[in-house]
């Protein structure tokens, strides 16, 4: 499965920034060993159901350690028997586009 999620504390620093809390969550993801990517809005991970949900829970716990309330947005693509889709899905679209505008 692929899970896209965003975790945000309800409290930020003096400028309203939440980077430190988000970094704590991303650290959990990176240390998990699961394939992952982080962009400006979401972090994506790929693995088995229990692995992914464990990482999401631990990432939420990391943010909850610095905030009394945490928001979580989660979207999952559940497709048993398929691996490597975190990059393969993008590669298929880029191939159809002839890599126009690919990063």
Average pLDDT, the chain: 91
Digit-coded pLDDT (tens) for 34-50: 999 999 999 999 999 99
pLDDT level of residue 65 (50, 70, 90 thresholds): very high
Helix, strand, coil share (%) of the chain residues, nearest 5: 40, 20, 35
Digit-coded pLDDT (tens) for 12-34: 666 666 788 889 999 999 999 99
The whole-number pLDDT of residue 59 equals 97
- Ramachandran quadrant class, 68 (left: phi over 0; alpha: psi -120 to 50; beta: rest): alpha
Residue 91 placed within a domain: yes
Residue 103 placed within a domain: no
Residue 102 placed within a domain: no
Residue 4 has pLDDT above 90, yes or no: yes
Q: What is the CATH number of the domain that holds 77?
A: 3.30.70.930
């Amino acid at each position: 499965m692929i899970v896209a999620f965003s975790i945000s504390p309800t409290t930020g620093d003096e400028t309203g920034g939440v980077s430190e809390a988000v970094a704590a969550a991303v650290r959990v993801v990176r240390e998990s060993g699961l394939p992952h990517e982080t962009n400006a809005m979401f972090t994506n991970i790929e693995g088995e159901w229990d692995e992914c949900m464990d990482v999401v829970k631990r990432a939420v716990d990391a943010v909850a350690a610095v905030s009394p309330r945490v928001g979580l947005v989660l979207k999952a693509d559940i497709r048993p028997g398929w691996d490597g889709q975190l990059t393969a899905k993008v590669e298929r679209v880029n191939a159809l586009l002839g890599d126009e505008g690919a990063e």
